[in-house]
Amino acid sequence: METAFEKARNALELRGKFAYGAVPEPIADSWRRCIRLGLDPVSKPEECVVSYSDLFQRREKLDLVLRLVRPELELLSAQIAGSNFLVAFADHDGVVLDHILDEEFRTSVCGKSILPGSIWSEDIRGTNALGLALHTGTSCNVTGREHYFAREGSISCLSAPIFDSKGQLIGLLDASSEVAARQHHTLALVNLAAQNVENRLFVDDHRGDYIIQFHPRQEYLQTQNVGMIAFNQEGQITGANRRSSELLTGIILTSTPTYQDVFKGQFRILIDRIGKGEVVQIRDWLQAGYFARLRLTHSANSKLSKTQIFLPADPIYRLHKTTEESTTGRIFTDEALRHNLRLGKKSAQQGMPVMIFGGPGTGKNSIAEEIHEQLHPDENFVLVDCATVNLDSVETQLIAQMKSNSVDGALKQDKIDLKQGGTLYLDRVDLLPADMVPSLNTLLNRLLHRRNPLLAQGEWVILSSTQADDGEQYPQGPLGDLCKRLAGFSLYLPKLRNRSDFRLLCCAMLATISPQHSLSSNAVEALKEIAAINNLSDLDWSVRTLAIQHHEGVIRTEGVTRILGQRQLDVAACSSCTGHMVKEVKCLEIRKVMRECNGNVALASRQLGVSRNTVYAHAIG
């Protein structure tokens, strides 16, 4: 029996008319616009692609946005990975500028249409998620036959707009799949990715301002779900992200030019407190309460504490001294790691530069901070990200600022006193631009020529790190010579799977994230066997995922396999179904739905219309 929507859809294709009330309102409005434009729903949509030069210019114009979007696309593709999927970014005209898709979707009809330069505005491609989100300025989900053109009826697509700090729509994120069913969890991921890009654009546009992050719940201050308002030195509002308007219900920010017009209290008192790293409670004039903190940017350092100076790439900061009551939370009980750490400390103490070798996420920064805290925790810890630093920042922010005295004889508050000593940590030195090598050598000469045979007060420790695992793989030319100079002692970090303290790491991470959860011994071994967990960052993501999706209590092997196994493995039939064609088809369907439901057996069973035992048998088998 036909549903009301199916009747409306058939009427659209046969007579060009439909019952408005039988179709979701945003879709019905879009269909009406397409009818007025003279588009034929049963014809082949027009394939429109901009020229290569036009595509190049569009990419150049949105270069910063594209650099922020690309990691989000890669993360989305990993989160929704399965068969037949695509994630893409389009500009404000609906022109696709970048995309990631799997081979199965690439060969589909729709996959051949969504390519860089293709135009997906509503007036050309009819009702689709990109075009609809572009028209409405809101997140959209267009599923199956909701698409205006009949040939796109097997596609489910979702899109979320991205706005700049001025509130102008600058692009859209899209996720499409050949699954004719609504995917609300995927839409939530796409919305989160768009929010991440917006927040980073906002911070980049307001680096010269104070950016105050606020949220009714303190734990959310560490997430992307915070409101952010930018203020100048006088407390005047210079911008706010979209989340701010949602949190400040009843307050229109465009008509409130200063801090005191939105919140109670004095702006300068607030800045003095949060500038020291405090989390402060504030109230708006409608009596709503929030927790607030300062989002640090390199240009807002003039009113901060004297030990904080910022590079355009990364902050220069002084680590706080750890006390008996406070702990760093670092775990170094692996025998090989402790041995290397002990030798690294001795080498630094003797005046020898130490280079830390390890891939991304292996804990190089933690090792550097540990050496610093064991040798001279009260001194400056200066971190330079060599992958993003530039010549101007080193010469003006480091070499020029590392002076024994200022012009008038008194050290300024935003200077680093060279006589006090400290630790210079050159992170990812193997990615240092070639034109930076002479300046960095000059900086090292100024620090190393002051060194005594043993580390004394006022001396500097030189640490560096590289993502290469092999100490012989140095770059060529002057950068290679610099790396060899820095590798007085080579401190190698063991592979995560080889660490004897793997269990302690897992349990410590989980205890920090969710004290209500614990891991069984077999669950720890299951984590160790997952191929996708290669470093501490991967382990942290996996533990957080378990804490989110598993009920409180002991997490066992079954939970690890069910929650994490769906993402780590390609969708393939279980061992009991392999070799039986009919069984394989059913098994693959169950395992695909299980992946889309993030390992939720009950949800997958409802969507498939089968028992939980059936889903469980195929998903875990």
Question: Angle 573-579-582 (CA atoms, 0-180°, nearest 5)?
Answer: 75
- Asked whether the beta carbons of 310 and 302 are under 8 A apart, the reply is no
pLDDT at 328 over 90: no
What number is the average pLDDT over the span 239-253? 85
- The fraction of the chain above a pLDDT of 70, given in percent, is 84
- Asked whether the beta carbons of 460 and 382 are under 8 A apart, the reply is no
Q: Are residues 515 and 440 in the same domain?
A: no
Q: Are residues 386 and 443 in the same domain?
A: yes
User: Helix 601-608 and helix 612-620: axis angle, to 10°?
Assistant: 110
Q: Are residues 468 and 508 in the same domain?
A: no
pLDDT at 434 over 90: no
Q: Are residues 428 and 542 in the same domain?
A: no
User: Helix 63-79 and helix 52-61: axis angle, to 10°?
Assistant: 90
Q: Are residues 542 and 474 in the same domain?
A: no
Residue 177: inside a domain: yes
- Asked whether the beta carbons of 439 and 396 are under 8 A apart, the reply is no
Q: Are residues 339 and 487 in the same domain?
A: yes
- The fraction of the chain above a pLDDT of 90, given in percent, is 28
- Assign residue 156 the CATH number of its domain: 3.30.450.40
Describe the strand order of the beta sheet including 489-492 as a list of residue ranges.
380-385, 422-427, 460-466, 354-357, 489-492
Q: Are residues 322 and 468 in the same domain?
A: yes
- Measured CA to CA in angstroms, residue 72 lies from 75, 76, 241, 414, 608 at distances of 5, 6, 19, 36, 30
Instruction: Compute the distance between CA of residue 181 and CA of residue 141 in angstroms, rounded to an integer.
Output: 10
Instruction: Compute the distance between CA of residue 176 and CA of residue 183 in angstroms, rounded to an integer.
Output: 10
pLDDT at 219 over 70: yes
Token digits of residue 382: 């200066």
Residue 46: inside a domain: no
Question: Any residues with CB less than 8 A from the CB of 591 and at least 6 apart, and which?
Answer: 566, 571, 572, 573, 574, 618, 619
Q: Are residues 242 and 177 in the same domain?
A: no
Tell me how many domains the chain contains: 4
29-81 residue pLDDT tens? 999 999 999 999 999 988 899 998 899 999 999 998 999 999 888 888 877 76
pLDDT at 571 over 70: no
157 or 582: which leads in pLDDT: 157
pLDDT at 12: 94
Question: Angle 107-126-152 (CA atoms, 0-180°, nearest 5)?
Answer: 30
pLDDT classification of 194: cutoffs 50, 70, 90: very high
pLDDT at 455: 67
Q: Are residues 360 and 485 in the same domain?
A: yes
79-130 residue pLDDT tens? 776 657 889 999 999 999 999 888 777 777 777 788 899 999 999 999 999 9
Residue 136: inside a domain: yes
474 or 106: which leads in pLDDT: 106
pLDDT at 403 over 80: no
Question: Model pTM?
Answer: 0.50
Instruction: Look up the domain containing 121 and give its range.
Output: 52-195
